[in-house]
Amino acid sequence: MKNMNAKDILVPTISLLVICLVATALLALVNNITKDKIAEQVAISEAAARVQVLPDAKEFEEVDMDGDKVTDYYEGIDANGETVGYVFNTIGEAKGYGGDVAVTVGIDTDGIITGIVPGDISNETPGLGQNAGKASWQAQFVGESGDLTVVKSDKAAQENTSDGKINALTSATITSKAVTGSVNVALDMFEEIGGEN
């Protein structure tokens, strides 16, 4: 009886343990194979975003900084070795539907936005907030400067790209505000560092 009990407890415990160990070992192996590839993919998509928002720059140099809302930023340098602008990766205070919305913002040396790309917007509402990924909406930001506000269904604001107004995405004001908030963080950061150059 006693023997039975010990066996009853030991066999299931050991088999579960063995399965866990094998699974962990397997995962460690796969992680090793894919780790570099994943890091590479992240680097590629970040680099692509930088080129997209600041097309004039040929090279990007990361600038050392500590920041809460600005996760990191880069100085964009053109073929002649001159600084043509900055690229900021920012997270604004206003949240989208699915939490923070990170945005990559390109700003030229005059403080004018050259392009924006929202990061991960997969948690925003499909068909509404996720339209923030569309180039046609992002284009409104180009040419703006200073401090941006979100307005609703204002066709003029959509077309006028230097009025400081961003026309919200249809039925997705929250996402629009989250993106714009992150862009404003970048504009503020530009003001802060602007004096140094």
Choosing from 128, 142, 151, 193, the residue that interacts with another protein (CB under 8 A) is 128
Tell me how crowded residue 140 is: count the other CB atoms within 10 A of its CB: 22
Q: Which helix (H) or strand (E) holds 39?
A: helix 2-53
By the rule CB under 8 A, 51 interacts with another protein: no
Residue 31, interface with another protein (CB under 8 A)?
A: yes
Question: Contact 71/102 with Cβ under 8 angstroms?
Answer: yes
Q: Which stretch binds another protein (CB under 8 A): 50-58, 94-102, 108-116, 188-196?
A: 94-102
Distance CA 160, CA 166 (A): 9
Q: Does 85 bind another protein (CB under 8 A)?
A: no
Output helix, strand, coil percentages for the chain, rounded to the nearest 5. 45, 25, 30
Two tokens at 182?
């992150």
Q: Helix, strand, or coil here: 132? A: helix
Residue range at the interface with another protein (CB under 8 A); choices 109-117, 121-129, 157-165, 189-197: 121-129
CB atoms within 10 A of CB 175: 27
Q: Is 149 in the site for another protein (CB under 8 A)?
A: no
Please, which residue, 18 or 63, has the CB nearer to another protein?
18
Q: Is 108 in the site for another protein (CB under 8 A)?
A: no
Chain positions contacting another protein, by CB under 8 A? 8, 11-13, 15-16, 19-20, 23-24, 26-28, 30-31, 34, 37-38, 41-42, 45, 93-94, 97-100, 120, 122-123, 125-128, 134, 136, 171, 173-174, 177-178, 181
